[in-house]
Every structure is written in structure tokens, then in C-alpha cells.
Structure 1
């Protein structure tokens, strides 16, 4: 966990007071909705279909149990008893009244939670690997660098009014769990031949109307220079990014139109002017941030405790353990992924009661720490292996011991037309129906790793472009239709999915997913061949034939 200092607390409290005054003036009519819009967006407040939506940042996905309990309090006191975890390591509340928003914001500020820059044309929440600091083989904890970037970009006067929103993600592991290649800037922590810590820097990733996979702009930037290099990228974008066309305003369009070589040259020229200035990080600054992260006092524990050997005789526990428990860098410990994808429920939602219970579980079994992943699941990062049976029972008691992580029912979905004023079609009911179709865990395990991503509009908040199966809602003659892509992925081998054919009506989407899965089971070369590998080997044609043969 990171310990916020007095500067952070003062900044957050001042922001609450400022927003309280803005809301007061809006409610009195002193501010029109147009005048209020920019002010509320920079505090994470959207106007959705039915009410204001409040988006709260969870920097690099790390929460304390105290903070999770406070989120539960906000859900219970100001909303309708639940919150929605997003693909950006945020949480959203969909029903908060505008008059009560400052009070909710103040309650969150007491435990170090804020919503600055979770919307608007500025730097959004800096995201990272939900297993950061505990993953085996990691270069080092990437959250140290994410925190440096968070402090650097929060309320930065030069970058508070960019051409469009801007997102940074960081990973330090060989396997990319932070989806860095679909971000405006992706940073991969590494060491060069001299053993120095630095970053491969990628730019120009993003989904939405014009999806792109990020390209490497510089293979290695020393850690001391990362702030100045990021600033150089932002300055070039701020200067040349389109402000006359919202659809061409993202950095991905600028990189595409200039070409990566020209863009890199512009950044290099800018960087050479500032790299040795005030943004150069010395070891003392880096170590100061590092020292503010507190890690558990791990015990010396056996690799296979007796409690785990005994619990292995319980088939239900073993199914959960094999699916939801992952290796930890410290012997005797494990990482537990908590699926927020129960059968028939909206993906990513957690009730206030579940959040309170998870906070209790984290206190008892995970040193009071919880993580949020971009797949809309949670993780307990420090669980003793001997405690796994007890954790499983505790999760089962609140309906969250669901052994479907990375399986077909572990669906990523945006809120869609049920909530969002931008959406063309519903996402949640589609996800609910697919989870019902694949509720049998034996069937899901037979299928293996398969990610289904659903977006209710072209803005791609559900990351449908990089789903193994991607589903995009579109509107045709006032009816909901859905385009289907296959073969996408968001990891270190990130690729955009390929459209398989014409859009299908709402009532047929789950049938199409079943057809695609059945085709995969018949076409895969061996049981271990993943869906995306089968698609890569054969292309989309065999799946297209199966889906449209009788349509």
C-alpha cells in the first residue's frame, strides 16, 4: 500500500470544497448545465441516461480494506447499494443525486479516495498490473513509477486541457496484465544490458471508432528520464493534436497520420530540450516514493501446507483453486482472483454488502489489501496458502467463489444502454445471457481460456476490439444489432479482432457465441490449443461459415 502525505490530503480536501461550491452554484441556477459540465467532468461526474454517474479513481488498482468499506458506505448511503468496477481500475456509482455528491466526495476524501481527472480531456487514472509487487518474475513493482506519474500529471496546468482524454498503463512482467498496447502511452519496465532500470515506451494505442495497437517509440528510456520523456510526448500531442474534430483528436490518430518515425523525431527534439532539467529524477526522489509503499511482513511458510493438502479432497474447492489461485513471488503465499461475474448478474458489479465482506476477508487473510484489474475482477494479493480453504468458504458465503476466471463467462462489459447516454445498444443483458448459456463449469473448462468483451457503442468501453470474441452494439432502424469480431487479444501479443460478417439482432447474439464456441471445439488441433491460436491458424472463414450457414 502507498501512504499518502499531507500534500495529497490537502489537495483532495481543497478539491472537495471547490466542488461543493460549484454544485451549490449549479443548483441555485448561477451556473448553467453547459457552464457546469467541464467542472463536473474534471471531478468524474457524468450526466447519464437516468441520473448523474460518479467515477472514482483507484490509482494502479490498489485499495485498502478501509477504502473498500468506504466505497461500500457510499454505495449504501448515496447510491442503490452497489458499485460497478470498470476496465480502467475505477469504480462507478450510477444513481447519486447531484446535491449529495459533495458529501459523498468528502466521505471518500477522509480515506484518501478521490475522483480528480477521471473524465475530461486530461490525464486519466494511471493503471497497472493488478498483481504488481507480488507477481513472480517481475522486474520491480511498477506502482512506484505509476505513483510518480500520478503525482506529476495530477492537475498539471499544461496538460489539463489536452485535445482529448489521455491514458497511461504500466507493466513490469513478461505477461502483460495491464493491456499497455491499447493505451495512449504504454510503459514496459525492463533492465538494459548494463542492468539499469528503464522503460520501453509505446504510443498511439487505443480503441473506439478508430482502433490502433500502440507502437514502440523508444526501446529504452532510463527511469531517471521517464517524466521528461512523457512530458515531451504530451507536449508534441498538445501542439499537433486535432481540436477541430473529436473523432480525430486522440494521439493514436496523430501517430497514424504523422507516422511513428516522424512522431518519434518530434518527441526526441522536444525531449532533448528538457531532459536534463527539473524533471530529471534522482535516486533520492525515486527512493522516497518507494519508501512510501508498505509491504506485508511475510512469514517463512511451507510450499504445500497441510491445510491445502486436506482441502484438495474437496472437488468444489479444487475447482476454484485451480481456476482462481495464482503463484506468488513469496513461497507459501498465493494471489486470489475474485470473479465479479456471477451467472446472470451484471459483470463488474459488487454490492455494498459484498464490498464490506471482502474488506473483512482482506483484513483477515490478505494484510488488508485488495486490487482491481482491468478485467473487472478483484484480487487478494497476499493470501497464505494455508488460508486458501478459509478464503474460499468466506467468498462462497457472499456468492463470489466463482471458478470462471479467464473462461467464457468471465465477460468484460460496459454498462451499455441500460445506463449510458452514449450507447446504441444494451450490453448487460447480453452478458447475462451468455453466462447462463455457459454456466456449467465443466463445459467452460473444456472450452478453456476465452475472453468475451461487449461494448454498447463504438466508444469501446468494453474493449470489444481486443476480446477473443468481441461484441459491439449498433443501432439499425431503431433496433439493436451486434457486430461480432474474433481473434482479438489485449496482452503482450495484442491484436485487434476481425469482423466475421453482418451484424446480428439482439435475440441471436448468445446463439452466435455458442456457434463460434462449437466451431472452435471442432476445429482446434488439440485440447490445449487456445481459441485465439485456432483463429490465428485458420482465419475467420470457418467460423463465419458456421455462424451464417443458417442465417
Structure 2
């Protein structure tokens, strides 16, 4: 993974010192709330419902064990012993004292981390495929390009005060695991007939108040012109984005207003002024960055050795049902013979989705050192991934995880719920998310039942900003306010990936206590109507919304 150079270290160090001074001046009454607001947002600091919230960047989801240990230390020393991993591959602390935030930022700088541009109207943390570099279907490793975008966008003077926040995702595989179609800019990397890396660029995607699937505005963009083309998009957006209306300020509104073809035409015209300019990526720079993302020193296994290891694992699967289930749901193929990628679920019964205690973080850091070359990834589904685990280590890894309540075999199942912190913490939320998630987890707690249901995504957001990505869940749940009461709207049919789509509202919203029962009714409707081995989303596509609505609203109250 990328290592800071002298420039990075100096930049982050100076930023910490600057914010320390700004915080001291605010606490001394020398800066007003309005003056301090912009300064704290530039450093990832929000004022939430009960306390400040600090959001820390995990660039394209990559962490090493030292960094995770530092995050655990911060949770103990400056928070309440836990933290929340988000759908933006970030981590959030919900209880830091304002006067301690500069100290937290200094601790982060020691392990090459920061909170710069994790909030505010700027380019946020660039996200990517958590299986980058090891996936069998990968065409181009997206991580060097993500790092180049990170460096280019950090403190870019032209794009530090955009009309609204701005999010970029980069994918380099046949399967889109980065949700590029619901980002302000989505990038699909591939190779042309000459074997050169090229990019397909999408613009105008996003969730929130107006969910939109992004539009392709450029194909076969040469890799070295990636930044010049992004600059052209940003300049068109910066010029014409709605600064007069917060709810119409995202680029998706501009693309919709102009139409994708006209927007692409204007970007192309702007690009004629930027292409070939100072932001062209030199081959030497790409090579320099890419050198940080080389494969670890794998043990070499021949076919016979791999077959023997697989046979040993098969024997263990017969003896340990939990191990068998964990292998089915949490282990993924690897391009290196004798290795796999392992997902560690942060969706345990009775625990808020995406939360991890400091003790759990330290354990995961230790296991990453022992089993995955000291590195791990954070997914936008709010889980961990060990990208490089040898087959011979799988049982030992599972055994340790099981002993510490971290071996939940539910990746991609209905209890693998994506959820924002909601009204328990966020001042923007209309309703709580965590109690709803816990109620649904309890309602579907039987693992036989979950395995029978198969792949099924369920996402929860506490407000229309859609931090829980409810629009692209097969089942989506949105907290809404009705006369000061918390209600929940249900959507069906959303999905992410290559065939991304936005879910449709099924009808009137529900009381909080009714939501788990509503979900169970939806699931039973699927079971009653599915063909053999048919997934939930496929059954829904085939039979439509009406059977689900008829069962959820037996008295025809959906309208």
C-alpha cells in the first residue's frame, strides 16, 4: 500500500498544527461558530446530535495493522472504546471532545492517516473495489489511479469550495464492486486492443434526495489523461452547479437539467483546454505509485499442493458446520494459487452494523499480521477483508474469529445489513437506523433461514441523504419524519453492481415496531413465489411489486 513521502508528511503535519491553532482560537472565543464551521469541516469534524463526530479517511479502503492499532488506541483514549466503519470506506468517532481533536489528528499523522476532505463541499475520499489487486476478473489494478486522484484532489485550490460534496469511485474489474454508477464520477478501467489502460467515465450518479444512475459520457479515455478529463468535468460543474439551492447543488441535478449528451458535449469542449496540459499523468509517476501496490511475497504452491490443501479443508468442513458455512459466504477466490480473500463481517446480532470495538480492532490488526501480510481492506458494505490468506491458515483464522464473535457467516445475506448511524447520533437524521437494523437481525436470526434465502441486500438510511445506500438495496428502508414521529418507508428492487438500479417505494411508511414484521412478510412473499434457486431480486423482477404490496398492505392501504 502507499507510503507517505516527505511532501505528504509535511502537508499533513502542517495541517494538524494549523487546525490546533484554529481550535484554540475558537475555544478562546476568537473565532465565531460560523468562522470555525468551515475550518472544522475541512478537517472532518461535524457537530452531531450529542457530541462532535470525527470522520477519518481510509483511502480506497486500505489499512495496515499499525494504522488499525492506532485507530483502536484513539477509540480508547479519546472516545468510548469503539468506532463506526462507513459506506465511504471511512471510520467515524462519535464521541470525541472538541479540545482533543487536534491530538487525535496528530496521532493519525504518526501512522500516515488524516481527516482532510472527509467533509465539506470538496472531493471526498475516493473509493474502490475491496478486492483490487487480487480479483480474478480484474483488468486493471485501480489502486494506483485512486492514489493519484487522492494526491491530485487534496487541497486542489480550484475544487476546494464546490457547489456541493463530490464523490469518485474507481473500478478495474469486469464486476463492479465499487458502485461506480451511483457516484458523482464513476470510472471503469479496462484495456484496449493494444493492451493499454483506458477509462470509461460516468457522471451524474448519486443517491440522496434525487437518486440517479450515472451516465456514460466518455469511452476509451487514455489513462494518462484521466486527471485532465476529471478537471474538465469539475470545471463545468463548478461553473454551472446550483449554488443557490442546497437540494439542487449536486452534479446529478446539472447532468439531468442539461441532459447527458449536452453535459458530455460541454465537458468535451472544456477538455480541449485541459488535455495534454500540466495534469497529464507521466508514465514515471504512474510507475512510482504502482510500485507501492506490488503483490506480497506469496508462498508458491503447485497444483498438487493446492489439491492436498483443499482436501484437508474438505475434511474440516465435514467436522465443523460453522467453518463450512463461513467458507461458503465469507471466502472468495484469489488469483494466486493457494490463497483466498476472507471477509470479516461486522454485522453481528445485537451490534450496530459497521461498529467495531477497540479490542476487536486490535485483534483484527494482529490477525492481519499473522495471516494477511499486515494489510486489510474496509468495504463500502461496512466489513473487513483480508486479501491474502493462505489455504493452510483458514481453519486457524476461522477458529480465532469464532472465539471472538467475528466469524459471522453472513456476507451477502439478509443480516449483512448496511446502515448509517441514524438518529442515535446524526443531527441530520429523521429517524433511528440502529434499532431498526437490530430488530431485523433478531427477526431473521436463524442461519438456516438466511442461507435458504440466499443473496439479498438490505440497506437502511436514517434520512434522505442515503448514507446507508437504501436506494440500491434489494430491500431499502428510509427513516422519515411525520409530525415529529419516526416512520419508515420501504423500497424494493434496488441493486448495485453492473446492473445497478434504484428501488421503488412500495407504499405508505410504517411505525418502527412494524418494520421487522414487514421485512418478514416481504421475505415470505419471495419464498412463496420463487422458482428453484431463484434469487430475491430475480423473483421480484419476474412477478413485480404487486404481490409484495398486497401482502404487506392486506387492507389495500398502500396508496
Where on the TM-score scale, by shorter chain, does this alignment land: which range? over 0.9
Check the 8 A contact 1:3/1:294 in 2, yes or no: no
SS in 2 for 1:472: strand
| Residues 323-338 of structure 1 aligned to structure 2 (within 5 Å) | 323-338=329-344
Check the 8 A contact 1:347/1:412 in 2, yes or no: yes
Q: Which residue of 1 aligns with 2:548?
A: 543
**Which has the larger displacement, 416-425 or 392-401?**
392-401
Deviation at 1:535, TM superposition (A): 1.2
SS in 1 for 2:158: helix
Normalised to the residue count of structure 2, the TM-score between the two structures is: 0.97
Deviation at 1:194, TM superposition (A): 2.7
Q: Which residue of 2 aligns with 1:469?
A: 475
Residue among 445, 450, 462 paired with 1:444: 450
| Residues 329-368 of structure 1 aligned to structure 2 (within 5 Å) | 329-368=335-374
Q: Which residue of 2 aligns with 1:183?
A: 183
Deviation at 1:279, TM superposition (A): 1.3
Check the 8 A contact 2:137/2:175 in 1, yes or no: no
The answer as to 2:456 corresponding to 1:453 is: no
Q: Distance in 1 between matches of 2:486 and 2:276?
A: 55
Q: Which residue of 2 aligns with 1:415?
A: 421
* Alpha-carbon RMSD: 1.0
The answer as to 2:379 corresponding to 1:379 is: no
CA-to-partner distance for each residue in 1:419-445, whole Å, 9 max, x for gaps? Answer: 010011110000001111111111000
Give the unaligned 5+ runs of structure 2. none
**Which has the larger displacement, 133-142 or 301-310?**
301-310
The answer as to 2:118 corresponding to 1:121 is: no
Deviation at 1:277, TM superposition (A): 1.1
Q: Which residue of 2 aligns with 1:39?
A: 39
Check the 8 A contact 1:2/1:294 in 2, yes or no: no
Q: Post-superposition, which runs of at least 4 consecutive aligned residues in structure 1 deviate over 4 A?
A: none
Q: Distance in 1 between matches of 2:17 and 2:227?
A: 30
The answer as to 2:491 corresponding to 1:485 is: yes
Q: Which residue of 2 aligns with 1:525?
A: 531
SS in 1 for 2:477: strand
Q: Distance in 2 between matches of 1:339 and 1:269?
A: 46
**Which has the larger displacement, 285-294 or 346-355?**
285-294
Q: Which residue of 2 aligns with 1:19?
A: 19
Q: Distance in 2 between matches of 1:357 and 1:292?
A: 25
Check the 8 A contact 1:500/1:544 in 2, yes or no: yes
Q: Which residue of 2 aligns with 1:275?
A: 275
Q: Which residue of 2 aligns with 1:151?
A: 151
The answer as to 2:259 corresponding to 1:256 is: no
Deviation at 1:345, TM superposition (A): 1.1
CA-to-partner distance for each residue in 1:103-148, whole Å, 9 max, x for gaps? Answer: 1110111000101000000000010001111111201210010001
Check the 8 A contact 1:3/1:293 in 2, yes or no: no
SS in 2 for 1:376: coil
Q: Which residue of 2 aligns with 1:303?
A: 306
Check the 8 A contact 2:3/2:112 in 1, yes or no: no
Deviation at 1:193, TM superposition (A): 2.5
Q: Distance in 2 between matches of 1:162 and 1:110?
A: 30
**Which has the larger displacement, 135-144 or 301-310?**
301-310
Q: Distance in 2 between matches of 1:54 and 1:44?
A: 6
**Which has the larger displacement, 399-408 or 136-145?**
136-145
Deviation at 1:64, TM superposition (A): 0.2
CA-to-partner distance for each residue in 1:274-331, whole Å, 9 max, x for gaps? Answer: 1011111221111111112243101112324154233222111111111100001101
Deviation at 1:498, TM superposition (A): 0.7
SS in 1 for 2:152: helix
Q: Distance in 1 between matches of 2:200 and 2:400?
A: 41
Check the 8 A contact 2:184/2:205 in 1, yes or no: yes
Deviation at 1:525, TM superposition (A): 1.9
Q: Which residue of 1 aligns with 2:58?
A: 58
Check the 8 A contact 2:471/2:494 in 1, yes or no: yes
SS in 2 for 1:157: coil
Matched residues, number? 550
Q: Distance in 1 between matches of 2:496 and 2:13?
A: 37
Deviation at 1:503, TM superposition (A): 0.7
Q: Distance in 1 between matches of 2:57 and 2:149?
A: 14
The answer as to 2:335 corresponding to 1:312 is: no
Q: Distance in 1 between matches of 2:552 and 2:174?
A: 35
Q: Distance in 2 between matches of 1:277 and 1:128?
A: 26
